[in-house]
Amino acid sequence: MPPRKPAKKTAARSSAGHGAGPAPRKTSQPAANPRTLGQWLEHALERYAAHNAALGQVADNAHDDALLLLLRLLGLPLDSDESVLDRVLTAAEAKRVLAALHRRVEQHVPTAYLIGEAWLGGHRFHVDERVIIPRSYFVELIPHLADLLPPSTPVRHAADICTGSGCLALLLAHQFKKAKVDATDLSPDALDVAAINVREHRLAARVALHRTDVFADVPSPEGGYDLIISNPPYEPSAHVDNQLPEFKAEPRMAHDGGPDGLVIIRKILAQALPRLAPHGVLLIEVGGIQKLINRTFAHLDPEWLDTEDGTNCVCLFRATSIASA
Ligand SMILES: C[S@@+](CC[C@H](N)C(=O)[O-])C[C@H]1O[C@@H](n2cnc3c(N)ncnc32)[C@H](O)[C@@H]1O
């Protein structure tokens, strides 16, 4: 899968709440023997360019990707101020940075896997090679989802289908403090990572993880779900075959939506729509296959939500439209 939403994926933006982050722009020539963090950053940028390091997983530009890598490798906060660039690395730190840069640029290992974390909506999530790196458009939509329901409707039951690291289920639980959230995934590996995140966010009382094909084995709550969201695999298989190495490092089943990209989306529509409350809504992130969705599911009256970068790739289906279909 190509980068989904580059404009939203800078280290600074994905760590929402930190504004522009450190974003130091003292661009100088890379030092032959880098000593300070700023010099290591320049060195990293040269190597990112020389090896065509792919971007779009944690940042849309090499500067933010490399800065995130360096800061977090050294255990420094994302909102460090510019003076951090003058920090001189110890010999042990320099060795660690060199090894990580080798893996990042020559072996094309994604930054998030090297530092073991990703940031979304101001929250930290554990990630490793068992899950796709969180970068969903839902991060900008979740704060506004209540506006899609009738006024004053409490969100009691929500679900996140294809949860991966659990990031969206947890953002839902943070947003809707009284909601119970069901999160599903078919991958036991992904669910193991999601369990780490549920524990770290202390939300085990409200976020339940289910191993199931889409939604099949999850009992519906009484009255149905107010909200169901999903960022499913939606890339046509042939696209997945041609991904850049950084994206191939992510689990294939997180990307591969079958021959036309719709295999999982069809199942979601079949299994989720009937589980909505009468006022409920289902939202699915679909990448670049909007036209195909409009054509294939015209009878379900898809609506498209605005996203900040104008891709508007999150589709909304209402319980009311299925009832009348
Ligand atoms: C694009 S990832 C999204 C992960 C997470 N929601 C996020 O936004 O970072 C899609 C997820 O769907 C899961 N998946 C693939 N096929 C599935 C199926 N048939 N049923 C449930 N989950 C599935 C994958 O394991 C992967 O974790």
pLDDT value of residue 311: 95
Does residue 102 sit in the same domain as residue 172? no
The predicted-structure confidence for 283-324, as pLDDT tens digits, reads as follows 999 999 999 999 999 999 999 999 999 999 999 999 987 666
According to DSSP, residue 311 is labeled: -
Does residue 39 sit in the same domain as residue 176? no
Q: Whose CA is nearest to atom 7 of ligand 1?
A: 134
Q: Whose CA is nearest to atom 24 of ligand 1?
A: 254
Among 115, 148, 166, the domain boundary falls at 115
Region label for 27, one of left (φ > 0), alpha (ψ between -120 and 50) or beta (otherwise): beta
Does residue 201 sit in the same domain as residue 162? yes
Region label for 287, one of left (φ > 0), alpha (ψ between -120 and 50) or beta (otherwise): left
Round the average pLDDT of the chain to a whole number and report it.
91
Q: How far is the CA of 112 from the centre of ligand 1 (A)?
A: 18
Does residue 284 sit in the same domain as residue 247? yes
The domain tally of the chain equals 2
Does residue 158 sit in the same domain as residue 67? no
pLDDT, average across residues 243-271: 97
Among 56, 88, 115, the domain boundary falls at 115
Is 80 exceeded by the pLDDT of residue 30? no
> Per the domain annotation, does 317 fall within a domain?
yes
Q: Whose CA is nearest to atom 6 of ligand 1?
A: 163
Determine contact, residues 201/258, Cβ cutoff 8 Å: no
Does residue 149 sit in the same domain as residue 280? yes
> Per the domain annotation, does 122 fall within a domain?
no
Tell me the C-alpha distance between 70 and 68, whole Å. 6
Does residue 93 sit in the same domain as residue 167? no
Domain span at residue 15? 6-115
CATH number at residue 282: 3.40.50.150
Does residue 186 sit in the same domain as residue 287? yes
Is 70 exceeded by the pLDDT of residue 3? no
The predicted-structure confidence for 89-103, as pLDDT tens digits, reads as follows 999 999 999 999 999
pLDDT, average across residues 267-278: 95
Does residue 82 sit in the same domain as residue 166? no
pLDDT value of residue 324: 63
| C-beta of 165 in contact with ligand 1 (< 6 A) | yes
> Per the domain annotation, does 310 fall within a domain?
yes
Is 80 exceeded by the pLDDT of residue 29? no
* Closest approach atom of ligand 1 to CA 232: 10
pLDDT value of residue 4: 41
* Closest approach atom of ligand 1 to CA 133: 9
Is 90 exceeded by the pLDDT of residue 132? yes
Does residue 210 sit in the same domain as residue 89? no
Largest CA distance in the chain: 68
Place of tokens 């890379």: 30
CA distances 93 to 70, 78, 112, 169, 239, Å, are 10, 18, 18, 36, 39
Beta-strand runs (E) in the chain: 117-120, 123-126, 157-161, 180-185, 207-211, 225-230, 276-285, 303-305, 314-318
pLDDT category of residue 17 using cuts at 50, 70 and 90 = very low
Mutate to test the pocket of ligand 1, among 131, 161, 234, 253 (most ligand atoms within 8 A of CB): 253
Does residue 286 sit in the same domain as residue 151? yes
pLDDT value of residue 320: 86
pLDDT value of residue 163: 98
| C-beta of 166 in contact with ligand 1 (< 6 A) | no
pLDDT, average across residues 194-198: 98
pLDDT value of residue 321: 76
> Per the domain annotation, does 62 fall within a domain?
yes
pLDDT value of residue 32: 75
pTM: 0.92
Does residue 189 sit in the same domain as residue 243? yes
pLDDT, average across residues 137-149: 97
> Per the domain annotation, does 1 fall within a domain?
no
pLDDT category of residue 14 using cuts at 50, 70 and 90 = very low
| C-beta of 190 in contact with ligand 1 (< 6 A) | yes
